[in-house]
Amino acid sequence: MKTVTAILAALALSLSTLVVADQAFSPDQSFGEAMPTDSAAVSLREAIAGLDEEGEATVKVMGEVTEVCQAKGCWMILVDGDSYARITFKDYGFFVPIETSMQRSVVYGVLSEHVLSGEQAEHYAQDAGAQSTLEMHGEVREYSLVASAVQLEKRN
């Protein structure tokens, strides 16, 4: 039984790394708390699909950062295929560099789904500046992840 569990864990780890790129993830920068090492990161899509009826889960996910708050780095957008989540940082306790874009990332925190008001959506669109790729008009339903740990991989 231990062998089957070990094989499944190794397979899950190898598949989760393939979701984002062909190469294994290699963190170059870390923010917030230490990244938990007791579990492998899953794709953002898998984490979203796994949300239960309560609509909230503590997750460790992988994806690519496509947008960052250009005012001070207080949020970022993590994308995996056609799924995305807005990442904010626990207790406003840390931020990421505003140049953080098109970098692979592993994020640990609480994932949920919520609705942004039209005012919140407009605020986020302004903070993103010219790099904004999301349609943010009126109320917007999106996934949110309040991160306690973030690892970024340096661009080549």
Average pLDDT, integer, range 5-32: 53
CA distance 11 to 25: 15
For β-strands 75-80 and 103-116, DSSP reports them as unpaired
- Assigned token pair, 18: 């393939």
Q: Confirm if 45 and 84 have CB atoms less than 8 A apart.
A: no
Percent share of the chain, pLDDT over 90: 49
Average pLDDT, integer, range 145-155: 91
Residues 41-88 pLDDT 10s: 999 999 999 987 778 999 999 999 999 999 899 999 999 998 999 999
**Structural domains in the chain plus CATH codes:** 2-152 (2.40.50)
Residues 95-132 pLDDT 10s: 999 888 889 999 999 999 988 888 887 888 778 776 66
Measured in degrees and rounded to the nearest 5, phi and psi for residue 14 equal -70, -40
Q: Which helix (H) or strand (E) holds 27?
A: none
Categorize the per-residue pLDDT at 135 as very low, low, confident or very high, splitting at 50, 70 and 90: low
Categorize the per-residue pLDDT at 10 as very low, low, confident or very high, splitting at 50, 70 and 90: very low
**DSSP-derived 3-state class of residue 114:** strand
Higher-confidence residue: 17 or 58? 58
Q: What is the pLDDT of residue 128?
A: 79
Q: How many CB atoms lie within 10 A of CB 121?
A: 19
Q: What is the pLDDT of residue 96?
A: 93
CA distance 106 to 26: 10
Categorize the per-residue pLDDT at 12 as very low, low, confident or very high, splitting at 50, 70 and 90: very low
Helix, strand, coil abundance in the chain, percent, nearest 5: 25, 40, 35
